[in-house]
Amino acid sequence: MAVVSDTKTPNLRCLKAAFLAMEPSNCLISLARRTSGGSLTEEVQNFILELCVNSVYVLRREENRILKKISFFLPSGIDDRSSQRNLVVSLYCSLNLLEGDTGCALWPSCLFLSEFILSYPKLFSDKVCFEVGSGVGLVGVALAHVGASKVILTDGDGSTLENMKCNLELNHLRSGKVQSRYLPWEFAAESELLKYEHDCVLGADIIYDPKCVPHLIEVLRMLLKSKRTFILPEEKEASVAYLATVIRNKETFNYFLRAAEEAHLSVMDITQDWQPLNLLPYMLSYDRTSVCLYRIS
């Protein structure tokens, strides 16, 4: 995890960040034109050649991995780390989702949830946070940045988990504070989940397969039974979950809502009330309006 200072104009900074994040070519061209007032001036072309192209490099840990750098533009005063303006996260991501490597991709809900965490750091600072279906690990990096006391990242796919571990190492987060765990939802045990005494549960784009919904609901039910004990035994606070998702299939999502109600879980849409800051202004391929945020208790 690297923090860099802002030394360029906002438009040039956005253009470089887009290159490092491997944004699609049409998005890069649009940003370049915006930077130079509509045409690709010589100044912008030189900037692309001298700074962007020289800074972009591809590393393959396997045949289907590419290195992306996601830059969050943090405004001053967003947290106690106000002097650290840009948070840059290095991530190995999948090149070929057609092979079923969806867990190693950067999905809109993952970006949205990370922006939410960075926009409201006090919700997660000094908290034990447990993520279900952690994918590339971006949410975990955001949680570590805002000062979560402990972060447990889980996934039920072996290759995704190995990729996530590699990403944690890239960002210098393989320690007792940030842990990765193998968690197939259908085999999750309540005794194993509750031992973490977590304060909050997080998930991004995990409501997508109707076959998995019953297992996901059971995992959430068990996780939300946890109550963290503070200084005095009577000081206890119930766990809460924040789930970000794109509703691609209405029937699947309605099935999730019915199953949650049957499990006595309260699902509240907080998308409008808790809008995150736009910390990824250069990422034109990211449609944050498609993402909904839910609070589950």
94 neighbors 117 (Cβ within 8 angstroms): no
Are 199 and 235 in a shared domain?
yes
DSSP 38-59: TS--HHHHHHIIIIIHHH----
Residue 256 CB partners (closer than 8 Å, separation 6+)? 207, 213, 216, 217
Helix (H, G, I), strand (E, B) or coil at 292: strand
Domain boundary among 48, 79, 97: 97
Rounded to 10 degrees, the C-alpha dihedral 183/188/193/198 comes to: 60
Return the half-sphere exposure (C-beta side, CA atoms, 13 A cut-off) of residue 187.
Answer: 6
Answer positive or negative: Cα dihedral of 220, 170, 290, 292. positive
Are 164 and 288 in a shared domain?
yes
Domain boundary among 97, 113, 132: 97
Q: What is the pLDDT of residues 202-255, one digit of tens each?
A: 999 999 899 999 999 999 999 998 655 444 444 456 789 999 999 999 999 999
Residue 1 pLDDT class (50, 70, 90 cuts): low
Domain boundary among 67, 97, 127: 97
260 neighbors 167 (Cβ within 8 angstroms): no
Rg (CA), the chain: 20
| CATH number of domain containing 217 | 3.40.50.150
Residue 169 clears pLDDT 80, i.e. is over it: yes
Q: What is the pLDDT of residues 118-150, one digit of tens each?
A: 999 999 999 999 999 999 999 999 999 999 999
Are 106 and 48 in a shared domain?
no
Q: What is the C-alpha to C-alpha distance for residues 111 and 136, in angstroms, rounded to an integer? A: 11
Structural domain span for residue 79: 2-97
pLDDT at position 58 is 59
